[in-house]
Structure 1
Amino acid sequence: MTAEQSIEKAIENTIKRNFYVDDMLKSVATIDEGRRLAGNLIQTCKTGGFKLTKWASSHRSTLEAIPEEDRTQAFKNLNFNPDDLQTEHALGMQWDIESDELGFRTRIKLKSATKRGMLSTISTIYDPLGLAAPAILPMRRTFQELCKAKIGWDDDIPPKQHKQWKKWLESLPQLESEFRINRCMKPLDFGRAQHAELHHFSDASESGYGAVSYIRIINHSNEVNCALLMSKARVAPLKQITIPRMELTAATVAIRLDKMLRRELDVVVDNSYFWTDSKTVLRYIMNKATRFHTFVANRLAVIHGGSTEDRWRYVNTAENPADECSRGHKRLQRAH
């Protein structure tokens, strides 16, 4: 492949995979590569009548190749005073350009203490990666209780749920002030990945179930770096089912996360491993001789279709990070 063909392929890949509506998010290995890609993208889109504007980068020198009028306001006139840099939006999340971290904005307008007001407030926290799931799950559970009790959309919520709602609103600013996660999956001086693994943890409880995914990268010096990628959390269904069956459902969530991440990540993933604190689930997965009931059989079909038995591991409940996906967390923790 010639250099020109390589550039054309990089541009084509970026346009196909890194644009979402009118936003483009892209990471590259070096500053020079970023500058070249930005210039080529501008020219390519220009031929189709599209002008790319509001450019921002965690590396300031990258933007020297961008016309001043096309940069985001924080980078106009190359004013790189950290006190002047504003937080940018990245697909609904907050991107701190100076520290290159992702976070959330929780300065929301107060709504009425009704089901309608609760749903509006909960939906305000846009969380496509599920990073705020431990903070949101408890209130989704409360909302489910109101639905089960057949409370009207504009009726005042009962005192018990109102107390929970008020306490949750008071703790919500912690999500903005205390939660930060590095945007980049590896340190700047880490180098290229020689080996990459995905590790998925699943868990379930009476409140809900879910899974969380991490990537483990090893470079040429055998240095290891782990990074949180995303999670999925669901409230327990209204129709009560046993915890082992909930654990099995959580395991299927881990399988779906693996398929999606393998499709979307630019990193070549060598292996995927799945962790659960349920020995019952592990016995289900290892048992191919027994004919199970439909509920179990359907979920085992998903698990066996997306993994092999030797990729499943047991993790102690106290060490299972997915525990917060299934139960929620009252106090937000930093995720560095």
Structure 2
Amino acid sequence: MPLPFKKGEPDLPDNRKAAMSRLHGLKNQFLKRPKYHEHYMTFMNHYMTFMNEILKRGDAEKIPTDEVSTSSSWYIPHHGVYHPKKPSKVRVVFDCSARYQGTCLNDHLLQGPDLINPLIGVLYRFRQAPIAFTYDVEKMYHQFRVTKEHQDYLRFLWWENGDLSKPPVDYRMKVHLFGATSSPGCANFGLKQIAEDHKVLGVEAAEFLKRNFYVDDGLKCVSSEEDAIDLIKKAVSMCAKGNLRLHKFVCNNQRVTSSIPESERTVVAKTSLELGQQGSTSIERALGIQWCINSDEFCFRLTLKDHPLTRRGILATVASIYDPLGLIAPVVLVGRQIVQEMCRQKMDWDHPVPEDLRPQWEKWRLEILKLPKVTIPRCFEPQDFGTPQEVQLHHFSDASLSGYGQCSYVRLKDENGKVHCSLAMAKARVTPLKQTTIPRLELQAAICSVRIASILNDELDYDSLTHHFWTD
């Protein structure tokens, strides 16, 4: 695919000197921070290995000397960033927003339509059946090539073999970059197009690629082991047609896991298979949510940083709790109420917590450390539950002067008349600072229920749904 420029190929200024200056700044960081240098060099060694591989495939190349002075070109600075959960690793980021003479590459690129599936929709469907698995597309953006006439807009500088004593060398990427405004749209279009072009291999596998991927992470659940094995086989074959590799496989079923080559599994999946169901607490992240594979439950294991006891620090702690489905919404609401009270008192961002709020904050912070004891079943259906014959969604809403919210439950009834209810989603909000009446807040909560119901109705894959709304 070409780079989707807004008004044809732009005439950009020569920013090689600016990129060279950024590279020298990076070199100075290496000399001042030896540990950072070591980690960066380790990553770049792997990167160079990767470069050798893609050079064989023709995905990237070193720019010939006689082509370095091409007029239509752009150099992209890069730097290393630490992942907070992987302090010994560094990720190289290409800065497509780096400006030179008032412009940057991203200014000239179209973002394109939003083809990313809603995150909560993918998570909803991940809870509908007992056998669940996750997949990942290897280096998704780098699997889609850029047309030749646009590759010179993706140049970068680096020391050959990572040797700082040598002069920098000019390279150009031939694939879409992480950091370019257009890359998410291009990559997601490419994945969906592969599914459409090869759907003859399996309609369900094509739907999996189209509807159950959030960028490069795919989540899916099915009713039987045979269906899971067949779907995985077809999805892998379909992606292979477009030279995409599905890897980092995780599943809550040992037989399905055994059918996957060991090289395609995550470390967690391998460990889970070795330990079996007894005594294993293998946890994997499913779009950021912690999923205990063997017990098939969502859990909340928090690692809180020691932020200062200020409005800024308290907000950072509350915002660090990731819960897109609102499964622990009542707990998070208390923290938000404390932040709101500080806003009501018009405190500065770095003002210490007042004495009247300190006990309330310390109590809440101690309580959220107990969240690891809380688990939520991933699947809406319990074990030994039959095929759902009737599916209802019950939405409850309520309000008070301190907050309002709603919760939605999936109510399933099988052929034997057995009934089971599961929490699907919840949302809790603090009331506005401007005082309002309880009836108006009740209506706000009811509106929230209607909006959540609309999302659930669109995203869940049940054949027929009936909605029931409960409010004061």
TM-score of the pair, normalised by structure 2: 0.56
Q: In structure 2, what is the equivalent of residue 173 of structure 1? A: 369
Pair 1:123 & 2:319 matched: yes
DSSP 3-state at the match of 2:379: coil
DSSP 3-state at the match of 1:157: coil
Kindly provide the CA deviation profile for residues 287-326 of structure 1, in whole angstroms up to 9, marking residues without a partner as x. Answer: xxxxxxxxxxxxxxxxxxxxxxxxxxxxxxxxxxxxxxxx
- Equivalent residues in 2 for 1:215-254 (5 A)? 215-254=410-449
How far has the Cα of 1:80 moved from its partner? 3.2
Q: Distance in 2 between matches of 1:150 and 1:173?
A: 29
> Do 2:281 and 2:294's aligned partners in 1 also have CA atoms closer than 8 Å?
yes
Kindly provide the CA deviation profile for residues 70-125 of structure 1, in whole angstroms up to 9, marking residues without a partner as x. Answer: 11112328413444552111121111111100011212112111111111111111
Q: Distance in 1 between matches of 2:349 and 2:317?
A: 14
Q: In structure 2, what is the equivalent of residue 160 of structure 1? A: 356
> Do 2:325 and 2:425's aligned partners in 1 also have CA atoms closer than 8 Å?
yes
Q: For 1:144, which of 310, 327, 340 is the aligned residue?
A: 340
Q: Distance in 1 between matches of 2:394 and 2:457?
A: 12
Q: For 1:20, which of 211, 214, 226 is the aligned residue?
A: 214
* Aligned pairs, number: 273
How far has the Cα of 1:268 moved from its partner? 2.5
Pair 1:205 & 2:405 matched: no
Cα 1:109–1:91, aligned 2, differ >3 Å: closer, same or farther? same
Kindly provide the CA deviation profile for residues 149-174 of structure 1, in whole angstroms up to 9, marking residues without a partner as x. Answer: 11111121211222211111111111
Q: Distance in 1 between matches of 2:326 and 2:364?
A: 18
Higher relative contact order (CA 8 A, sep 6+): 1
How far has the Cα of 1:56 moved from its partner? 1.0
How far has the Cα of 1:23 moved from its partner? 1.7
Q: In structure 1, what is the equivalent of residue 294 of structure 2? A: 98
Deviating more after overlay: 154-163 vs 79-88: 79-88
DSSP 3-state at the match of 2:357: helix
Q: In structure 1, what is the equivalent of residue 252 of structure 2? A: 58
> Do 1:130 and 1:232's aligned partners in 2 also have CA atoms closer than 8 Å?
yes
How far has the Cα of 1:24 moved from its partner? 1.3
Pair 1:183 & 2:375 matched: no
> Do 2:457 and 2:465's aligned partners in 1 also have CA atoms closer than 8 Å?
no
Tell me the amino acid that sits aligned with residue 198 of structure 1.
L
Kindly provide the CA deviation profile for residues 22-80 of structure 1, in whole angstroms up to 9, marking residues without a partner as x. Answer: 22111101011011111111121222232222111111111122110111112328413
Tell me the amino acid that sits aligned with residue 104 of structure 1.
F
Q: Distance in 1 between matches of 2:352 and 2:199?
A: 63
> Do 1:207 and 1:235's aligned partners in 2 also have CA atoms closer than 8 Å?
yes
Instruction: Tell which structure's C-alpha radius of gyration is larger.
Output: 2
Tell me the amino acid that sits aligned with residue 413 of structure 2.
I
Kindly provide the CA deviation profile for residues 188-238 of structure 1, in whole angstroms up to 9, marking residues without a partner as x. Answer: 321221111100000000111111000111111111111110101111011
Q: Distance in 1 between matches of 2:279 and 2:413?
A: 36
DSSP 3-state at the match of 1:55: strand
> Do 1:201 and 1:213's aligned partners in 2 also have CA atoms closer than 8 Å?
yes
Q: Distance in 2 between matches of 1:186 and 1:146?
A: 42
Q: In structure 2, what is the equivalent of residue 109 of structure 1? A: 305
Pair 1:267 & 2:462 matched: yes
Q: In structure 1, what is the equivalent of residue 138 of structure 2? A: none
DSSP 3-state at the match of 2:448: helix
> Do 1:129 and 1:231's aligned partners in 2 also have CA atoms closer than 8 Å?
yes
Q: Distance in 1 between matches of 2:260 and 2:214?
A: 21
DSSP 3-state at the match of 2:411: strand
Q: Distance in 1 between matches of 2:281 and 2:326?
A: 27
Query: Which residues of structure 2 form unaligned runs of 5+?
Result: 1-197
DSSP 3-state at the match of 1:248: helix
Tell me the amino acid that sits aligned with residue 407 of structure 2.
V
Q: Distance in 2 between matches of 1:115 and 1:84?
A: 40
Cα 1:71–1:47, aligned 2, differ >3 Å: closer, same or farther? same
Q: Distance in 1 between matches of 2:425 and 2:264?
A: 32
Tell me the amino acid that sits aligned with residue 86 of structure 1.
S
Q: Distance in 2 between matches of 1:159 and 1:269?
A: 54
> Do 1:69 and 1:76's aligned partners in 2 also have CA atoms closer than 8 Å?
no
Cα 1:184–1:7, aligned 2, differ >3 Å: closer, same or farther? farther
TM-score of the pair, normalised by structure 1: 0.78
Tell me the amino acid that sits aligned with residue 410 of structure 2.
I
DSSP 3-state at the match of 1:66: coil
Cα 1:12–1:137, aligned 2, differ >3 Å: closer, same or farther? same
Q: For 1:255, which of 439, 447, 450 is the aligned residue?
A: 450
Q: Distance in 2 between matches of 1:269 and 1:212?
A: 20
Query: Which residues of structure 1 form unaligned runs of 5+?
Result: 279-336
DSSP 3-state at the match of 1:199: strand
TM-align CA RMSD: 1.7
Cα 1:71–1:156, aligned 2, differ >3 Å: closer, same or farther? same
DSSP 3-state at the match of 1:229: strand
> Do 1:129 and 1:229's aligned partners in 2 also have CA atoms closer than 8 Å?
yes
> Do 2:337 and 2:430's aligned partners in 1 also have CA atoms closer than 8 Å?
yes
Cα 1:48–1:85, aligned 2, differ >3 Å: closer, same or farther? farther
